[in-house]
Amino acid sequence: MDERTTSDPAIRTEGLTRRYGQTVAVRDLDLSVPRGSVLGLVGPNGAGKTTTIKLLLGLARPTAGRAEVLGFDAITQSLEVRRRTGYAPENDAVYGWMTVRDALDFCRGLYPTWDRERAGRCLDLFGLAAGQRVAAMSRGMRRQLALVLAVAARPQLLLLDEPTEGLDPDRRRDFFGVILEDVAADGSTVLISSHQLHEVERVADRVAFLRAGRLVREGSLDSIKETERQVRVVFQGAPPPDLAAWPELGRAHAEGRTWVLAVRGDLHAVLARLRALNPFALEVVERNLEDLYFSLGREADGDAHPPSAD
């Protein structure tokens, strides 16, 4: 194994930018993904998720900045990157004239790390027959084949672009529950771009939020949840007039008589101050990835506003 593969992060980007004419698909992206982690790349359509993945694989060239994958430059050493990376693209891309066996044979010849046993196990799990022609498969089946091809190479890095799009719930469960756990147990790094936020939350230990090509927030899911907590409070009367000036608070908004306060600083200090106001109700809200997705999205869109007491 190359020395680089043990010491560097799996993915490191610095100022990575890709423009298409006037459109900036990825803007000044600084990202560092530790080895062995499972990163969920989330964001709305057009956020730059697919372009980011293509930049990492050398399928697109950056307009500015650079990307290092598994210690290799994503452009000048793209071949080394692709030797060690499994990729299931967003759109079905396997040749229609191929059978499942043809596709496996083609890929097996290209990856020195190809694992026949894992390929066979995945095919069995998905119920794909070796003689099936890709052109005659449903979209979900083609998706399953793409996933098999990506994981059977025993990659050090697995890039999955909307991996479960078109899969039925059973296959989706099989993929996340069996295949991905198998890959993660290998110590491989996994990057999943998906709209299935609850599934990303189940498997990812880190998450990166992209919006309009910008990285809004990146870090371990636990630490983001820790720093993006909310408190719901019902005051006895009007909220304190200096609420907007509380340094621990981010966005605040009213839902009827209930105020929802985003806490950015010391939660215990905020709770103590609120309790001193003797509110009718006070609770800390556990936020899931979906809540974070929407609240970070609103902030990134400039919707965030300081708390106000009116």
Partner 1 sequence: MPIRPLLIKELREARWKLFTAGLVMVALGAVIPATHGFVVGLLEEVPLPPALLPQVQAQLRDVTTYLWANWPAKNLYQTLVVAALVFGAGALAPEFGRGTAVFLFSRPVTRRAVVLAKFAVGVAGLALAALAGTLALDLTARAVLGQGVPWTFYAALVPATAGASVVYGIALWFSARGDDGLRAGVWAALAAAALSVPSWVPNLQVASVYVHMTARPLFLEGRFPWLEVLGLAAVTALLVLASARALEGRDV
Q: How far apart are CA 42 and CA 205, in angstroms?
A: 13
Please tell me whether residue 136 binds partner 1 under the rule CB under 8 A.
Answer: no
- Residue number with CB closer to partner 1 (97 or 278): 97
User: Smallest distance from the beta carbon of 137 to partner 1, in angstroms?
Assistant: 14
Please tell me whether residue 66 binds partner 1 under the rule CB under 8 A.
Answer: no
Q: Which two tokens stand for residue 280?
A: 């009718």
Tell me the backbone φ, ψ of residue 209, rounded to 5 degrees. Answer: -100, 125
Please tell me whether residue 21 binds partner 1 under the rule CB under 8 A.
Answer: no
CA 46, distance to chain mean position in Å, is: 14
User: Smallest distance from the beta carbon of 144 to partner 1, in angstroms?
Assistant: 15
Question: For residue 290, which amino acid is it?
Answer: E
Q: Which two tokens stand for residue 256?
A: 């009827």
Q: Is 160 helix (H, G, I), strand (E, B) or coil?
A: strand
CA 64, distance to chain mean position in Å, is: 23
Candidate list 2, 30, 105, 290; residue touching partner 1; CB under 8 A: 105
Return the DSSP state at 216.
Answer: E
- Residue number with CB closer to partner 1 (87 or 209): 87
Please tell me whether residue 61 binds partner 1 under the rule CB under 8 A.
Answer: yes
> Which residues lie across from 86 on neighbouring strands?
158
Please tell me whether residue 310 binds partner 1 under the rule CB under 8 A.
Answer: no
Cβ contacts of 122 within 8 Å, gap of 6 or more? 147, 148, 151, 152, 179
Listed residue (140, 144, 101) closest to 126, CA to CA: 144
User: Smallest distance from the beta carbon of 41 to partner 1, in angstroms?
Assistant: 17
Listed residue (165, 193, 219, 158) closest to 44, CA to CA: 193
Please tell me whether residue 29 binds partner 1 under the rule CB under 8 A.
Answer: no
Candidate list 8, 102, 165, 182; residue touching partner 1; CB under 8 A: 102
Q: How far apart are CA 174 and CA 168, in angstroms?
A: 10
How far CA 203 is from CA of 2, 37, 84, 281, in Å, comes to: 28, 10, 21, 34
- Residue number with CB closer to partner 1 (158 or 216): 158
Stretch that binds partner 1, among 8-16, 75-83, 281-289, 295-303 (CB under 8 A): 75-83
Q: How far apart are CA 2 and CA 187, in angstroms?
A: 16
- Residue number with CB closer to partner 1 (38 or 107): 107
Candidate list 26, 35, 48, 92; residue touching partner 1; CB under 8 A: 92
Please tell me whether residue 72 binds partner 1 under the rule CB under 8 A.
Answer: no
Please tell me whether residue 83 binds partner 1 under the rule CB under 8 A.
Answer: yes
User: Smallest distance from the beta carbon of 95 to partner 1, in angstroms?
Assistant: 5
Site string for partner 1, 220-249 (x = CB under 8 A): ------------------------------
Q: Which two tokens stand for residue 167?
A: 């899969």
Candidate list 91, 138, 223, 288; residue touching partner 1; CB under 8 A: 91
- Contact residues for partner 1 (CB under 8 A)? 54, 57, 59-61, 79, 82-83, 87, 89, 91-97, 102, 105-111
